[in-house]
């Protein structure tokens, strides 16, 4: 029994514990520092040797990584374009010939209109905010009514 009261004074135990704790803290600090300096490939996660600013093992991994990011970005663009196309078709179907019409918000929703996506906004001098999907715009009126207009027919 190394730490039994008989052989080791209490103060010695505390001194030993203190030394051990300091040693542990230094060791942990060294491990953390070492982990930070280790570099892994951003694509295949293999450990990299050499320069610390290296991000990939080789050109293959760099290309795979960039292609993957590009395809994710492209998918997002495609999805948003699809929503905008549907929104434009809905507005176009409700306003085939006239300059303006008024429908309920529900009608637009039933037809698959997504109010979160539009191409731009336009504020009239009177302070009305129009939302546009390409050349079709709409204005939110009272009682969940929506006025749909074509670009040329906005009254100031």
Residues at the interface with Zn ion (CB under 5 A): 41, 43-44, 57, 61
Contact 83, 117 (CB under 8 A): yes
Tell me the β-bridge partners of 123. 129
Sign, CA torsion 89/91/96/99: negative
* Residue closer to Zn ion, measured from CB, 64 or 114: 64
* Residue closer to Zn ion, measured from CB, 60 or 112: 60
* Residue closer to Zn ion, measured from CB, 55 or 100: 55
Shortest gap between Cβ of 107 and Zn ion (angstroms)? 53
Shortest gap between Cβ of 33 and Zn ion (angstroms)? 24
Shortest gap between Cβ of 63 and Zn ion (angstroms)? 11
Shortest gap between Cβ of 61 and Zn ion (angstroms)? 3
Close Cβ partners of 38 (under 8 Å, ≥ 6 residues apart) = 47
Encoding tokens for residue 124? 């009239």
HSE of 28, CA atoms in CB hemisphere, 13 A: 6
* Residue closer to Zn ion, measured from CB, 40 or 122: 40
């Amino acid at each position: 029994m190394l730490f039994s009261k008989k052989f080791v004074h209490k103060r010695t135990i505390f001194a030993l514990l203190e030394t051990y704790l300091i040693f542990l803290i230094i060791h942990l600090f060294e491990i953390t520092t070492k982990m930070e300096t280790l570099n892994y490939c951003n694509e295949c996660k293999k450990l990299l040797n050499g320069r610390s600013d290296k991000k990939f093992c080789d050109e293959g991994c760099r290309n795979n990584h960039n292609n993957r990011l590009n395809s994710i970005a492209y998918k997002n663009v495609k999805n948003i374009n699809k929503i905008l196309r549907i929104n434009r078709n809905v507005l176009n179907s409700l306003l085939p010939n006239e300059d303006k019409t008024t429908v309920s918000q529900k009608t637009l929703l039933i037809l698959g209109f997504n109010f979160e996506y539009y191409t731009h906004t336009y504020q009239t001098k009177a302070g009305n905010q129009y939302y546009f999907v390409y050349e079709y715009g709409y204005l939110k009126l009272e009682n969940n009514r929506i006025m749909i207009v074509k670009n040329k027919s906005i009254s100031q």
